[in-house]
Structure formats: C-alpha cells, structure tokens
Amino acid sequence: MKLRSLGLERYGRFTGRVLEFDPEARVTVIVGANEAGKTTALAAVADALYGIETRSRYNFLHDYKAMRLAATVEAPDGRSLSFARLKRQNATLIDPASETPLADDSLAAFLGAHDRQAFLDIFGLNQRRLREGGEKLLAGGGDLAETLLAAAPGLGQVAALRDRFQESAAKIFNPARRTASHTFHVAVDKRTQAQKAVREQELRVDEVKKLREAAERAAGARRDTEMAERAADAALARARALVQAARELRLLDGQALALAALGELPVVAAGFVAGARDALQHLASARERHRFASDEVERVDAERAGIGLDDGILPFAETVEAVDGERTAVAKELLSLPNRRVEAGEARAALERIAQSLGLSDVARLLAALPDLPLLARAEDLADRKRMAAATTEALSRERSRQLADRQLAETARAGLGHVADPTPLQRRLALLDGAEERERALRQLEHRLDAQRAQLGERVARLGHGLADADALAALPLPSLGAAEATLRDLRLVDDALGRLHEAFSALEEQAGQAEARLALLKSGRPAPTDAAISAARRDRDIAWSALRPLALGERGRRDGDVESVVNLDRALVAADQLADERQVETQRLAELAQAERDLADLAVRQDAARKRLAEATARHGAVLRDWSGLWALSGLQLSADDRALALLREVESIRQARDQLRQEAAQAAAQRDSIAFERAETDRLRAQLDLPALGEAPLRMADLRDAIAVAEARFLKARDHERDLRQLDEGQVDLAAREQAAAAVLAGLVAEADEVFARLAIRAEASAGEARAAIDLWRDALQLYVKLEMAERRIAGIERDRDQFASRVAALLEELGAAAEDDPFAAARQLRGRLDRARQLRSRADAVDEAVEARKRALAVAAEALEAAEAAMAELLAAAGCADEAMLAPLLDRLDQAEIRAGRIAEARERLAGLGDGRSEDEIRAAIDGRDDAGLAMAAAETEAAHAEARIARDAAIESDTQARSALAALDGREGAAAAAQDEQDAVAEIAEAVERFSRDHVAARLLSAAIERYRAEHQNPIVERASTAFQMLTDGQWSGIGIDYDEDPPRLAAMRDGGHFSPETLSEGTRDQLFLALRIAAIEEHARRASPLPFIADDLFITFDEKRTAAGFRLLAELGAVTQVIVFSHHLHVAEQAVAVLGKQAAVIEL
C-alpha cells in the first residue's frame, strides 16, 4: 500500500495543507524547520490510517470536533481509495466528495493484518526505535532478534518442537531449582504424605469396641436427660403462667371497681366524645373568625376615605409621555450643539490651511478644484513609480560600488591562500580508521578485565582450600558430578529422616510400654482384685474349712480341741468368699481395665520387636549410603562431610571451570584484536607524519589530532574554492548590473513625461520629487474628507435648532389644554407634567386596590357569619344528645366518658392476656386453681419448679457433651480407617515418580538433541535476512566493513560485524557504525516481511543524525532499493539532507517542504 496524498485539513498547526507524493519517486523527503510541523505531519500518517487517538495532543488549534485528515491510498493491484478521517466515536471514515460515511473496514484491504502498533513497530523508525531494536537484538530478545537468530529456513517447526520439549521437561523437574509445582516433587511429596498416613491410621479392634459401647451409653443418657428437661420445662411454664394470671386477675378486678366509681353515664354513639370536642373547638374558631372579619371591614373603609384622587390629567397620559420622551432626545441633541459648531469651524479652518499649502487663494477655489478619486489614484501610482525608479537608480549605484569592493577583497584573499591541495585522500584514509580509539580502549579494558578475572579466579580457588594450586589444577581434579552428589545426599537425608522417625517411634513404644506397666501396677495395688482365680482360691479355703467341721455338724464325731479354731477359719473363709463374690459385682470396670492393660502390654511387646527390626535395617541402609558418599570422592582424594557444603563446593568448582573457559576465550579474542590495533597504530603514525604531527610512541591513539589537522586542511581548501567561485560570480554580476542600469534610465524618462500631464491638474510642479508629490496628493485627500465633514456638521446644526423650536411649541399647547399656566422653560414644564401623571396613576391604582379589598372583606364577613350559625346549630344538637343544658356542663361529662372508655379497654386487654395464659381454661377455672394461694406461695412454687428445670438442663447439657465427645472419637476412628487407602496412595505415588523420571529423561534428552541439530544447521545455512543485511551494511559503510555474520562461538550465538575475516561485537563499534548496522538489519527484515505480506509505507524520522555525508548518501541509495519494494518517506529537520537525497538519487527523490 502506498500514500498518494495526505491532507492536513484541520490538524495540529495545519489548516488546508495537502502533501502530494510523486508516484515515480522511490524516496520522498519531507523537510521542516523547528516549529514547522514535521512532528505533526509524522503523527498524521498513523492517525489517518488508524484513527485519531482518543486523547490527541494535536487539538491546540482545532478542537476535537473540527479535527480532520484526508488521504488517498493505492493498493499493489492498482486499486485506490480517497477518504477523510474525523475525530469522533463512530463513522470516523467519510467520503471527502459526498461527506457520506464509509464502512469501518474500508481500509482493511489496504492495511492487511497490520494494526497501529504493528505499523509503528515494523514500518515506523526513528533513531530511538532504531537503537532500542538494536539493543534488544544484542540482548537476544525482541521480535527482530527472533526473526534473525531463530528463523533459518526450515527451522521454525523444529525450534517450536524443541521449545515444547524444554517446557515439558521444566514442568516435570529442574535440577538447578526445586519448585513445589514440578511433577516429580509433587509425586515425592505425595509418597511422603501417604507414608505418614499409614503410620498414623492403624486401628485396633478392642479400641473400636470400647469407643462404640461408650458412644451407645452416651446416646441413651442424652435421650433420657432430654426427655426429663422437656418435662421440667413444661412444669416451669405452668407455674409461671399461674403467677402471671394472678397479676392479671388483680388488674381486672381493680379496673372494674374504677369503672363503677364513675357513676351512671348516658349512652352515646361511638365517637361521640371526639366529635363533641371537635364541635366545641370549631364553635370557638367560628366566633374568632367572625370577630376578625368585622374588624377588617371597618379598617379598609377608613383607608378608602383617606385617598385623594387627581383624575383630570389621566386622559392626557399618552401626550404627556410622548412630550417627556421628546424632551430627553432634544436635550441630548442640544448638549452636542456646541461640539457640532466647533467641528464645523475646525473643518473650515483646515480647508483654508490646505488651500494655502497648495498655493490657492481661498477655500472657494479649493472646493471648486476638488479632484475625483481616479485622478488621485493615478497621481499616487505615478508618485510611487517615480520613488521606485529613484530608489532603483540609487541601489544600482550602491551595488556597483559594492561589487568593486568585493572583487578587491576576493582577489586579495585568494592570493593570500596560495596553492591548496584537496584533502579528500587524507579523509578516506582517516575514515578507514573509524572506531580505532574505541577498539584500542576496549582492548585495554579487556586486558585489565582479564587480569582482574585471573586474580579473582585464583582467589576463588584459594578460598576452596584442599591444597589446590590454581584453576588448571582444579579443572584436572576428578570430582564427582553435582547430580550424583545431590542424589546421594538426598538418599542419605531420606535414610536419616527414616532412621530418626524409627528412633522416635521406638522411643514412643517404650514410653507407651512403661505407661501400660505403671497402669497395670496401679490396678493391682491395694486390695486384691476379685478375679476368677481369687474367687476360686477363696472358695477352696471355705470348702477345706467346712470339710473339717462337717462330721461334727452331722453328729458323726465328737468335739475336739481344734474345732474352735476351725470354726473361726470357716467363718473367715465364708466372709472372704462372699466378699469377693460381692466385689465381683461392683468392680467389673476395674477387672475390665486390668484385662485391657495386660492385653496392651502384650501388644506393645510385639510392636517393639517389629520396630527394633526396622531400626536395625535402617541403620544398615544408612551405613551403605555413607559408603556410597565416600566412594564418590575417592578418586579426588578429598574427604568431605555429607552436607550442603559439599554441594556448594561442587557448584563453586563448576562455576570456576566455566569462568576459566570464558577467560581463555576472551584471552584469544584479545590477542586477535591486538594484531588489528597494531596495524591501525602504524597507519595512524604514517598519517601523523604526513600532517606534520608528532609520533604517538606508546601513548594511546588520539584520532582527534588527525581530524583537527585534516579539518584545517579541508577548511583552507574549501575557502580557496569559495573565493574562486565568488570571483566568477562577480564577473557575471557586472554584466547584469550594466543591463539593469540601462533599463532603469529608460523607465525614469517615461515617468517624467507622464508627470507633466497629471501633476498640473493637481497644482503640483512637474519636476516635484516623489515625496513632494505624495504630500500634495495627501492634502487633496484630506480636503475631500474635510469637505464632507463640514457639510455634515452644518446640516446637523440646522436640524438640532429646528427640533428645539418644535418641542417648545408642543409643550405650550399641552399646558393650555390642561389649563395650566405657561412656563418659560419647556423642559422643566415637561418634567413636572410627567411627575403629576405618575402620582395620579399611583393614587388611582391605590384606590382601586382598596375598593377590591373592601368587597373581599365584606364577602369574608358573610362567610364567617354563616359558619358561626352552622357551628351553633351543631352544638345545640350535641347538648340535647348529652342531656346538658349548656356548653359548661358538656366538658366534665366528656372527661368522665373518656375515663370510662379507658377502663373498659384495660379490662378487655387483661381478659385477652388471661385467655392466653389459661391454656384453654376459663377465667373461673383459673380463679379456682389460684384460690387459697397468695403471690408468695405461687412465687415459691415457680422458684422450686425453675430450680428443678435448671438441674434437668445441666444434666442434659452434660449428656450432650458426653455424646458429642463419643461421636467425635468414633469419627476420628472413621478417619483412621484409611490406612489401606494410604498404602495404595503410596504405591500410586511411587508409580508417578517412576513415570515422571521417564518423561523427564525423554523430553530433556530430546530438547538437547534438537538444540544441537539447530545450531549445526545454522552454522551450515546462512539466514537470508542476515545475507541481505550484510550486503546493506557493506553499502552503508562504503566497503569499510565487509558485512554481518553470526558468531557461533558465542553462547548463545550473537550477531557481529565482519572485517578482514574477523568478527567484531556491536559494542566495539562506533556510535555511527552501530546505527548503520541496526539500519541494515531493519531494512533487511522489512524486505523479508514484504515478501510474505503486503507492506505499508516505511516512515523514517531523522535517521541520519550520526551519519557523515558519504554514509548519508549510501543510506539514501539503500532506501531507494527499499523503495522498489514499498513506499519510503523520510522526515528531516535539515535542508541539506534533502539536497543530498536529490544529488544522490536524482529524479528518484522527491522533496516536500512544510
């Protein structure tokens, strides 16, 4: 797409300006000095194509509604579109001819897929964007860097595949950095959690049975206490209801007594009391209004009687007002009459002075000879031409004198310079040394940096200790890999953690066993427990004692000496056996706990044996991992502890090795630069000798001395060339001056002849100078104006005097009609008549208003009388209904009726509350329930019931708490029933770890292989953009640099400028050369982009600030080549840039000046 025209109709500082672009030109240069509007025109291109920005800064002359741009664009297939762009929300595109809106997508076919940002990023370029793009390129970022370094033919999909493999591997595992989101670490954490869950979620059957029985007992107790609490609550509610009912009955009886105390009352309708009170108030109000209306009627009658009228002047009101208006106008004119007379006198005096100046006898002759305007215009033109002819003759004379002086100066100056040689060969040799100072300075800095890095490397090796001499010795040391050391240390830490957990578990089992033994001893302490064995032994003792006494009791033998002791033993055995049997019924819980304690001891012994075996296995594993760790360091001869310090040592060693390799590469680069700089110093010494400058010796390069010396030689050469050019121009000027002098003499002769005819008619001498003639003509013009002024003043004076006399006559006639005495001053009489008329009107208006007020007051009095009569009739009806003789008796009766209504309402409310408390019982039943009990008795019964309810609630809460605890214990057991699931989770986690390791190995190796293949392919196939940029860079530098390449020795590969087969990083180039490198890359990228998509115009703004004349010329030649692909528009502040474009490109360049 190309721009054929850009209309700045109302935009920024422009109004109606149109820029036309030559279709034959490959480069268009738009030149504008400061404040000429170059920046405005530059911004207008983007606003015209994509819309004026919402908050535009170019509305300082034309507001938003008036802003308007226009353009004509042409597509590559020849289609064109003319449009105008407005600043508004909708329909911003219109047809400039018909002003009808165009579709919003009308430009889509011309702009393609480029939006505003893409247009500015790709096709809009100034020095800032040029350098920013270049810096991103050097840093390895930005769209252009990706295009140049990663878009070799056929590598796009391969690079994308490599990136996918790298991204996939990074999500699984990163050896350098542990992140919780990595798949591998997620699986490891999952296995750890599953192992912990297995240990925590083991269950025992006896524990489950015990907790479930406790839960059932707690649930039964909760149900019983809840039922008891509900029964106590109902009893409490009934007791409280009786207490409240007693209060309500007392209130009911009190209000009934108060109602009876009011005595007998008349029966009246509902609302009678409120109506009667309203009637009393209405009657009082009606009486007050009637009294007020009577007073008002008397007041306005007295006011009307005091008004005196003057109606005799009212019929002449229109005439009096007209006379008063005329008085003001005539008085104003009379005030200006002296001024008019003065103006007339001044005009006549001025005409007399003009007549004398022109040599005329009086004003009459002057007025008779007044010329017409065409004659004056002809005389003025003739005077101007005579003045110009005289000025031309004088200027030609001065110019001849100046030419003689300039020739003498030029000849003297040229002779003083003598022979001057052309400095161009020296300048070319100096240009070949461009950037030598920066390169030498960079080399010195590089050498200093290398020395510092070597010292720093030695210090880092020394800090490592272990008797290492230097970095080379460290590089040769057979240390283990960081990955192997990390893996071994990680295994050792896992074994340490497992061993620590086993020790903790074994200690916990020992502690549990000790607690179980103590509990068992506590249960067995004191009186023997009534176990089955103890009861059996007591029964055996009882049977033995009975067997000794049984024959005596049956009469089978006689009494013996030991029978008394046997009886005592039998009694003791019977008591002991019976007591153990009775205690067996009471101490069932103790026996159960004793049995449980014995079972717990047996279980703990089994678990201790298993834990002891696992601890031995873990100890053996720990020793094996320690041996593996020692084996890693065996070849190096180092003995390091298995901790993070060993890993830190390996990381530091790897960093030192990388720094050593980088140092060796930079040292090789410094050696190559040293040879190049030695050649440049030799060439510099030869130039200095040729320019008579002292040799440098060992001092740093000083290119400024060479540039200054060559600049002096160039200045002498240019000065000599300028003097020779001036002499040639002076010769040409003398010939031209002679021709102009001859022409000026002929023009002057013709003007003298014309003056003889014209000046005589204006009383001007024919030989008068131009100034004299011009003065006379000005006098004639003044005379014409003064004549008009005099005539107008005299006419105005006569009119004012006539108006004054007519006004006096009309005032006298009006006074006569009114029967008033005549006045000497008609103006004072007119003012008095107007005052009398105003007062008469005011009196009449006041009288009319008072008459209306009298009628209104009388009507109000009649209305008040009617209202009073109606109020009295209504009051009579109320008194009859209440049985009262007058109004004084009615008020106390109304108060008694109010009290009766209040008492009845309270009785009804009390009965309603009593019905709510009775729970379906009648008032008599409630009275019967309370009968015989006072308030104290009822309160005491309620307090006892409330205490019983509180005890029931406490018992319920305790049962609920016990039930909740039992349920929580069962829920905890339910949560611990997942040991099998946790074991399965552990196995799943192990499988996920294996899968993550397999996927990471596959993706990581694939990414590394693809990266190696891409780098090898790049080395074998040069990027077409780099090839084009290389050719462009060679053109821009006039062959001083051979091109651009990619230095694949760098990691990552980097762009470099090429000279004499060597690569030079952009940082070592001069500012101007670096800008030329970036421009070559940008133009190559745009040409490559144009092969894939329809390009937009390339807009460049002040690109050549750091370019000298030769490289500016080369830059225009390169832009002309780009102009064959797309339209090129260059904005500049400097006219010489446009001149150079025309000098280099000829007709292929077009210039537009703002």
* pLDDT tens figures, 271-325: 777 787 788 788 888 888 888 888 888 888 887 777 777 777 778 788 878 888 8
Task: For residue 204, give every residue at least 6 positions away whose Cβ sits within 8 Å of its Cβ, in sequence order, or none.
Answer: 603
pLDDT, residue 93, reads: 92
Please tell me the distance from the alpha carbon of residue 1023 to that of residue 435, in angstroms, as a whole number: 27
pLDDT, residue 592, reads: 64
* Average pLDDT score, the chain: 79
**Res. 205: pLDDT tops 50:** no
**Res. 837: pLDDT tops 90:** no
- The fraction of the chain above a pLDDT of 90, given in percent, is 6
At 1063-1100, the pLDDT tens digits run 888 888 888 888 888 888 888 888 887 777 778 899 99
C-alpha distance from residue 230 to each of 126, 233, 242, 950, 956 (Å): 91, 5, 19, 11, 10
Query: Which one is predicted more confidently, 934 or 626?
Result: 626
CB-CB neighbours of 756 under 10 Å: 10
355-371: average pLDDT: 79
Q: Binning pLDDT at 50, 70 and 90, where does residue 7 land? A: very high
Single pTM value for the model: 0.34
Cβ atoms of residues 596 and 206 within 8 Å: yes
Q: Are strands 68-74 and 1043-1047 parallel, antiparallel or unpaired?
A: unpaired
Please tell me the distance from the alpha carbon of residue 347 to that of residue 458, in angstroms, as a whole number: 110
CB-CB neighbours of 746 under 10 Å: 9
Task: For residue 583, give every residue at least 6 positions away whose Cβ sits within 8 Å of its Cβ, in sequence order, or none.
Answer: 530
**Given CA atoms 158, 159, 161, 165 in this order, what sign does their dihedral have?**
positive
**Res. 628: pLDDT tops 90:** no
**Res. 1051: pLDDT tops 70:** no
Q: Tokens 């300048």 sit at which residue?
A: 427
**Res. 1037: pLDDT tops 50:** yes
Please tell me the distance from the alpha carbon of residue 583 to that of residue 493, in angstroms, as a whole number: 58
Strand partners, 20: 5
Please give the angle made by the CA atoms of 270, 276 and 281, to the nearest 5 degrees.
145
Query: Which one is predicted more confidently, 252 or 507?
Result: 507
Residue 882 carries which side chain, given as an amino acid letter? Answer: A
**Res. 363: pLDDT tops 60:** yes
Task: For residue 965, give every residue at least 6 positions away whose Cβ sits within 8 Å of its Cβ, in sequence order, or none.
Answer: 218
pLDDT, residue 188, reads: 79
Q: Binning pLDDT at 50, 70 and 90, where does residue 25 land? A: very high
Strand partners, 1130: 29, 1100
Q: Binning pLDDT at 50, 70 and 90, where does residue 470 land? A: confident
**Res. 980: pLDDT tops 60:** no
634-661: average pLDDT: 82
Cβ atoms of residues 160 and 150 within 8 Å: no
At 170-181, the pLDDT tens digits run 777 776 666 767
Q: Which of 593-597, 960-964, 973-977 has the lowest mean pLDDT?
A: 973-977
Please tell me the distance from the alpha carbon of residue 579 to that of residue 386, in angstroms, as a whole number: 163
Please tell me the distance from the alpha carbon of residue 911 to that of residue 904, in angstroms, as a whole number: 11
Please tell me the distance from the alpha carbon of residue 926 to that of residue 835, in angstroms, as a whole number: 98
Structure-block tokens of residue 667? 């040292």
Please tell me the distance from the alpha carbon of residue 1046 to that of residue 436, in angstroms, as a whole number: 22
Would you tell me the crossing angle of helices 703-758 and 424-432 to the nearest 10 degrees? 130
**What single string gives the DSSP state of each residue in 187-235?**
HHHHHHHHHHHHHHT---HHHHHHHHHHHHHHHHHHHHHHHHHHHHHHH
At 896-927, the pLDDT tens digits run 777 777 877 888 887 777 777 766 677 777 77
Q: Which of 439-448, 456-465, 766-775, 961-970 has the lowest mean pLDDT?
A: 766-775
Backbone angles phi, psi at 353, to 5 degrees: -65, -40
Query: Which one is predicted more confidently, 62 or 314?
Result: 62
**Given CA atoms 567, 573, 578, 583 in this order, what sign does their dihedral have?**
positive
Please tell me the distance from the alpha carbon of residue 770 to that of residue 385, in angstroms, as a whole number: 8
pLDDT, residue 1117, reads: 92
Q: Binning pLDDT at 50, 70 and 90, where does residue 553 land? A: low
Q: Are strands 80-86 and 93-94 parallel, antiparallel or unpaired?
A: antiparallel
Query: Which one is predicted more confidently, 693 or 1018?
Result: 693
Cβ atoms of residues 624 and 491 within 8 Å: no
Task: For residue 115, give every residue at least 6 positions away whose Cβ sits within 8 Å of its Cβ, in sequence order, or none.
Answer: 50
- In terms of residues, how long is the chain? 1154
pLDDT, residue 1048, reads: 57
Q: Binning pLDDT at 50, 70 and 90, where does residue 841 land? A: confident
Nearest to 1097 by CA among 8, 121, 82, 124: 124
At 956-973, the pLDDT tens digits run 888 888 888 888 877 766
Please tell me the distance from the alpha carbon of residue 54 to that of residue 69, in angstroms, as a whole number: 15
**Res. 657: pLDDT tops 50:** yes
CB-CB neighbours of 912 under 10 Å: 10
Strand partners, 585: none
pLDDT, residue 342, reads: 83
Please tell me the distance from the alpha carbon of residue 43 to that of residue 597, in angstroms, as a whole number: 93
Please tell me the distance from the alpha carbon of residue 222 to that of residue 230, in angstroms, as a whole number: 12
Query: Which one is predicted more confidently, 97 or 205?
Result: 97
What 3-state DSSP class applies to 68?
A: strand
What 3-state DSSP class applies to 624?
A: helix
Q: Binning pLDDT at 50, 70 and 90, where does residue 1052 land? A: low
Q: Binning pLDDT at 50, 70 and 90, where does residue 660 land? A: confident
Cβ atoms of residues 81 and 107 within 8 Å: yes
Residue 589 carries which side chain, given as an amino acid letter? Answer: Q
pLDDT, residue 918, reads: 66
Please tell me the distance from the alpha carbon of residue 677 to that of residue 679, in angstroms, as a whole number: 5
- What do you get for the CA distance between the two ends of the chain, in Å? 24
Taking the mean position of all CA atoms in its chain, how far away is CA 711?
54
At 370-393, the pLDDT tens digits run 887 787 788 778 777 877 888 888
pLDDT, residue 1148, reads: 92
Cβ atoms of residues 1017 and 152 within 8 Å: yes
Instruction: Spell out the SS3 assignment of 431-457.
Output: HHCCCHHHHHHHHHHHHHHHHHHHHHH
pLDDT, residue 47, reads: 92
Nearest to 1071 by CA among 125, 145, 130: 130
Cβ atoms of residues 743 and 389 within 8 Å: no
- The fraction of the chain above a pLDDT of 70, given in percent, is 89
Cis peptide before 480 (omega within 30 of 0): no
Of the spans 135-139, 535-539, 964-968, which averages the highest pLDDT?
964-968
775-804: average pLDDT: 83
Q: Binning pLDDT at 50, 70 and 90, where does residue 207 land? A: low
Nearest to 519 by CA among 584, 604, 581, 609: 604
